[in-house]
Amino acid sequence: MQNQNWRFLMFTFHRSTLIAMLCFTVLGCVCAGLANAQATSVGRLTVFNVQNPEADVDFVNAKPMPLPSNPLPPDTTKAMIEALESKQSVGTSGGASGAEGTGITSAEFLGTPAAANEVAPQDYGTNNHPFTTVRADMFSINTNKTYPYRPAGKLFFNIGTAPYICSASLIAPGLVVTAAHCVANYGASQFYSGWQFVPGYRNGAAPYHKWKAVQAWILTAYYNGSDGCAVYGVVCPDDVAILILKPSTTGAYPGTSVGWFGYWYGGGFTSNGLFQITQLGYPAGLDNAAYMERNDSYGYTNSSDSNNTIIGSNMNGGSSGGPWIENFGLPSALTGESNGSFPQQNVVVGVTSWGYTDLTIKEQGAAPFTSGNIGALVTAACAAVPGAC
């Protein structure tokens, strides 16, 4: 992050209310370009209608969206003990299945991304949380055009006139899920602009083209800053957003060829709130965000962190909004075996929300998917544009 582009504000409160506050806002020259005139309140949600025509973002020089940083020290014992001993109350569960798609490609080249020198890789961890972070590609196989990798992709957008990147994924033919902090400035009632999703992005190549968003949906509580975050604007209950994509001239959405993940809320974990997560994203600290990265780790729910899920991870800026997936991969045919209690395949149960200010900790968090956030967002988006679903 460059000092002339960003400033950080930190305030400390008692743990019983807000323990700490860490948020970033763009300096005046950038804030002036933030979009909010097209925002409309729809019950508990806020939708932004993208105005046409809208120019492409700068795909080459787009900077990684800084991963919101949690300034608190990690709780190395209490949270894990709580997860192992207590039964989590998660409310209603539900979701939808994904689809593989045809896999037919029609590629274009967006340009090799410029170096993102302001983001430092997170090289080692101190919190005893095991994980494996690797490039999604195999040694001789580019997995970006293989299901279930290809529904994940790179999200380009503008903050004012400056281009940025996050990560995102399809959960319906024309619906993208990402982090709310990749869509709006928390508590400022300001949307960003120019979102373009590139499924299966790989080193400048867009094998399934780029797709512009026509609407962005977030929780109004996130939009106006009343979300009740454990760390203001960083560790929040509702850091999740839905983008509705514009179809092609033939009316097709990217999911037709790419496929899409399922999504689920209120499930995917044991009664103690333990998860097994596969995380996908484009962190700038790994391969300069040119390639999709994969991380696998167990996770647990921490009630002190707005019921966010915590995993071990080596990802950083640019990975924001990337999917956290349960039962990732090609399902096996069962012979003399049975499924576990959550057999849903390739379902997104969260998106990357934040990491720690201390880069040695090697943990990231995700807001929980609930009926009140992802459930309500998908329902509203599908009612607004049924063809995208």
DSSP labels, 47-105 = EEEPPSS-PPP-TTTPEEPPPPEE-SPP-SSHHHHHHHHS-------EEE--B------
Nearest-angstrom CA–CA distance, 110 and 20: 40
270 part of a folded domain:
yes
Burial of residue 305 (number of CB atoms within 10 Å: 0-12, 13-18, 19+): buried
Q: Does residue 99 have a pLDDT over 90?
A: no
Residue 1 forms part of a structural domain: no
pTM of the model: 0.79
DSSP of 204-225: TEETT--EEEEEEEEEHHHHHT
**Bridge partners, residue 158, by sequence:** 163, 193
Q: What is the mean pLDDT of residues 355-366?
A: 88
Q: Is the confidence at residue 16, as pLDDT, over 90? A: no
| Strands 293-302 vs 274-281: parallel, antiparallel or unpaired | antiparallel
- 187 within domain boundaries: yes
Residue 312 belongs to domain with CATH number = 2.40.10.120
Q: For residue 66, what are its two tokens?
A: 């800084």
Looking at the chain, the whole-number percentage of residues with pLDDT higher than 70 is: 78
Distance CA 320, CA 298 (A): 19
In a domain, 74, yes or no: yes
Q: Which residues contact 294 (CB under 8 A, 6 or more apart)?
A: 133, 134, 135, 136, 278, 279, 280
List the 231-232 sheet strands across, edge first.
6-12, 20-26, 231-232
Helix, strand or coil, per DSSP, at residue 374: helix
Contacts of 251 (CB under 8 A, 6+ apart): 387
**More confident site: 76 or 127:** 127
Please check whether residue 320 lies inside any domain of the structure.
Answer: yes
Give pLDDT, residue 122.
Answer: 39
Measured distance CA(340)–CA(22) in Å, rounded: 40
For 268, the domain range is 6-112+120-332+341-388
Q: What is the pLDDT of residues 204-233, one digit of tens each?
A: 999 999 999 999 999 999 999 999 999 999
- Alpha-carbon distances of 347 from 294, 307, 327, rounded to whole Å: 15, 19, 7
β-strand pairing of 45-49 with 363-366: unpaired
Instruction: Scan for tokens 């001239």, then name that residue.
Output: 249
Question: Which position has the higher pLDDT, 110 or 29?
Answer: 110
Please state the length of the chain.
389
Which of 94, 66, 59, 75 lies closest to 19, judged by CA? Answer: 75
What are the helix (H) ranges across 192-343? 220-224, 255-258
Domain count within the chain: 1
Q: In this structure, how many other beta carbons lie within 10 angstroms of the beta carbon of residue 333?
A: 5
Q: What is the pLDDT of residue 255?
A: 97
pLDDT for 321 beyond 80: yes
> Distance (Å, rounded) from C-alpha 170 to C-alpha 164?
19
For residue 20, the model assigns a pLDDT of 33
Q: What is the pLDDT of residue 84?
A: 52
